[in-house]
Amino acid sequence: MTDVKIIADLQEIEQSRVAVIEDGKLAEIFIEFNDIDNRSSIREGDVFKAKVETLVPAISAAFVRLSSKNDKTLKGAGNAFMYTPSSVKPGQELIVQVEKTARKNKAPRVTPQVSLPGRWLVLVPNSNETGVSKRIDDLAERKRLKSLAETFTKELDTHGVIIRTAAEGVSEELLRRDLDSLLELWRNISEKADSNSSPCLLYRDMGILGRVLRDEVCGKVSQIIINEPCEFQSAKNFTDRFYTDKPDVVFYDNTTPLFDYFGIEDEIRKALERKVWLKSGAYLVIDQTEAMTVIDVNTGKFTSAPDMRHTVLSTNKEAAEEIARQLRLRAIGGIIIVDFVDMEHEDDKHELLKHFQKHLNHDRLKAKIFSLTQLGLVELTRKRERPDLRSVLTRNCPVCGDNGFVEREENISLSVKRFVRKITKANNAEAFLIQTDEATASYIHEFLDEWEKEFGRKIFVEGVKNFQRGKFRLEFQGNIETAKKLMTIN
């Protein structure tokens, strides 16, 4: 059985990060930027009372408004796109749920069919839909859960119920408890919709850690490590209520930053690189484009197999395992093309595809292999559920435009902040002078007052021309006057 650990870095108000570790390897990373001006970003699962603005009959779709033009409390909420039946009219009010958040130049996509996930069930209001997760393989268990889903739906009459993967082996009593919580939630949403005019927000989904614990983990979690006291208590309450096998929930309060301690920062940096080295000396090259992701497999330095045929097969199988991991880690979705090293024997090709699908099956999101083309390319798709890691942490290079990308200033600034937090715990210096690139320094200056209040120290940040992007250094630590002088001299 896979050993799963959850590492939650929730200490910074600007950004929340949750890592999933499986058998000692980083499997997935969830990152969410939080707006410190109290505007929350729209996210999947949010429920709105929307107003239909424009119909697009040619594609049976409509644009709806999620918030008023004067509402500044919800970032990214404005017009959203929705596929809709012909009965919808302009000006009509609807309860909708966000299916996909805004991506690049695309508006958020919403649906009038709301679904509310719990730990073990999904409630589908105003529907007779029933179902059981396809990831539950045991036939007897599927039959039991299918019967319970049908019983619940029949009792509710107007709502459908879908059984989630995590419900495998869970008693009827616990499933009913989860269902009761979801019914209460829907009642609250309905009452708020009745008492408020559109457009308005009716329900915000759980925070990032809650969503990971509820939605992203199906196996046994042995340990949850958190560095924020309120979130630590919330996680204890959640696992006590919904986890039959109670994980060890630990509060982390060491000087070394949490993700540094577990080596996650280095893994995140590697996940932004094109080249991925394999243990054998072979390597992958991953190129993400607008239309698809292309992955090239190279034998590199690997020559330890007894002959060329075994070298190629061994390289390809090792690459298949790492590709399955990288797709999850980088949150890559859509169309994916893999150029494995050419193989002549049909048996080897069959063995590779079987091995690849086996490792893709570890993914909670559906990934399907379609074919091995005549050119030896493997075509597959993976469900796109959230923005990929590169789009979250980087942006187009200001020099070469669409031909390259650089790390976002907000992400670099948080690396600087975590470094400052670390050194303030290690010494009593009055002031620190930190040097970084000019764009990042300019960005940090907007938040220096908040940082200084939080850490109780004077912080000087200097932008240096031609300083390497994404890097920073501690130029001085000591008294305030000396730091001021150095800042002036430079």
| DSSP element (H, E) containing 487 | helix 480-489
Say how many CA atoms lie within 13 Å of 143 toward its Cβ.
3
Give the Cα separation of 342 and 353 in Å (integer): 13
CATH of domain 408-489: 3.40.1260.20
pLDDT of residue 27: 94
Per the structure block, which two tokens stand in for 332? Answer: 């890559």
Tell me the pTM.
Answer: 0.85
Phi and psi torsions of 398, nearest 5°:
-70, -15
DSSP state of 10: -
pLDDT of residue 38: 44
Partnered with residue 55 across adjacent β-strands are: 62
Cβ proximity of 369 and 337 under 8 Å: no
The amino acid at 86? S
Domain spanning 116-203, CATH class: alpha beta
CA–CA distance from 104 to each of 274, 290, 301, 310 (Å)? 21, 10, 38, 43
pLDDT band at 358 (very low <50, low <70, confident <90, very high): very high
Asked if the model's pLDDT at residue 307 lies above 80, the reply is no
pLDDT of residue 333: 93
pLDDT of residue 104: 64
Mean pLDDT, the chain, whole residue set: 89
Give the Cα separation of 161 and 125 in Å (integer): 9
Asked if the model's pLDDT at residue 135 lies above 80, the reply is yes
Asked if the model's pLDDT at residue 369 lies above 90, the reply is yes
Give the Cα separation of 14 and 370 in Å (integer): 41
Cβ proximity of 192 and 202 under 8 Å: yes
Q: Does domain 1-40+206-270 have CATH number 3.40.50?
A: no
Angle between helices 308-329 and 346-360 (to 10 degrees): 20
Query: Span 139-148, mean pLDDT?
Result: 96
| Per-residue b or e along 105-117, where b marks 16 or more CB atoms closer than 10 Å to that residue's CB | eebbbbbbebbbb
Geometric angle at alpha carbon 433, from 429 and 435, rounded to 5°: 150
Which residues have CB under 8 Å from 74's CB, separation 6+?
39, 40, 41, 42, 66, 67, 201
DSSP state of 276: E
Return the percentage of the chain with pLDDT > 90, whole number. Answer: 64
**pLDDT tens, residue by residue, 437-477:** 999 999 999 999 999 999 999 999 999 999 998 899 999 99
Show me where the domains of the chain are located.
Answer: 1-40+206-270, 116-203, 271-382, 408-489
More reliable by pLDDT, 137 or 404? 137
Give the Cα separation of 30 and 388 in Å (integer): 10
Cβ proximity of 7 and 31 under 8 Å: no
Strand 431-437 and strand 458-464: the pairing is: parallel
pLDDT band at 39 (very low <50, low <70, confident <90, very high): very low
Asked if the model's pLDDT at residue 89 lies above 70, the reply is yes
Asked if the model's pLDDT at residue 74 lies above 60, the reply is no
| DSSP element (H, E) containing 140 | helix 139-156
| DSSP element (H, E) containing 9 | strand 4-9
Cβ proximity of 31 and 333 under 8 Å: no
DSSP string for residues in 413-455: HHHHHHHHHHHHHH---SEEEEEEEHHHHHHHHTTHHHHHHHH
Cβ proximity of 248 and 223 under 8 Å: yes
CA–CA distance from 217 to each of 111, 177, 243, 315, 323 (Å)? 25, 20, 11, 30, 20
Query: Span 126-134, mean pLDDT?
Result: 92
Asked if the model's pLDDT at residue 486 lies above 60, the reply is yes
pLDDT of residue 77: 58
Least confidently predicted of 41-45, 63-67, 245-249, 424-428 = 41-45
Query: Span 41-69, mean pLDDT?
Result: 86
More reliable by pLDDT, 255 or 488? 255
| DSSP element (H, E) containing 327 | helix 308-329
**pLDDT tens, residue by residue, 216-226:** 876 689 999 99
Residue 181 gets the label, from left (phi > 0), alpha (psi -120 to 50) or beta, of alpha
Give the Cα separation of 280 and 301 in Å (integer): 7
CATH of domain 271-382: 3.40.630
Return the percentage of the chain with pLDDT > 70, whole number. Answer: 93
DSSP state of 165: G
User: What end-to-end distance do the CA atoms of the chain give, in Å?
Assistant: 57
Q: Please report the beta strands in 159-288, taking only residues with DSSP state E, as ranges in sequence order.
A: 159-163, 200-203, 221-226, 248-251, 275-277, 283-288
The amino acid at 146? K
pLDDT band at 35 (very low <50, low <70, confident <90, very high): low
Which residues have CB under 8 Å from 447's CB, separation 6+?
14, 36, 413
